[in-house]
Amino acid sequence: MPEYKIPDDLRYTKDHEWARLENNVVTVGITDYAQNELSDIVYFEPPEVGTTVKQGDTLGTIEAVKTVADLYSPMSGKVTEVNKSLADDPSVVNRDPYGEGWMVKLEISDPSEWDKLLTAEEYKKLLAEEEG
């Protein structure tokens, strides 16, 4: 199995999104594994700022050369920001999925959902099973 970057300070979903919680805002993107599977990302269709989502709802669409995938919300909340730079250069998600390639920020409505997300160790186990 290739070595994917899986930062320990983030939480993860079974659908390969990552979440970084700071105060009451969660930043969302796709994991190194997900960007590798999608390969060349050519477009991200974000949600509207102000949209309210529940945990597991679709937060946008990621288009790659090979396929189209949904971005799912790791937590419930309201969209406060979308990464506008992805409109000009969506391939930054391939280069820096955990940094400049973030996709959406949410003001969360249910902090207890954080504990339902996968830790880095749990996510590594999930990937091992999927690759296995």
Q: Structural domain boundaries of the chain? A: 14-124
**Run of H or E residues at 48:** none
Query: How large a percentage of the chain has pLDDT more than 70?
Result: 99
| Sequence-distant (≥ 6) Cβ neighbours of residue 23 within 8 angstroms | none
3-state secondary structure of 82: strand
Tell me the helices (H) and strands (E) count for the chain, helix number first.
Answer: 4, 9
Beta carbons of 90 and 35 less than 8 angstroms apart: no
With cut-offs at 50, 70 and 90, classify the pLDDT of residue 46. very high
Residue 116 three-state SS: helix
The whole-number pLDDT of residue 9 equals: 97
Report, at the CATH architecture level, how domain 14-124 is classified. Answer: Beta Barrel (2.40)
pTM of the model: 0.96
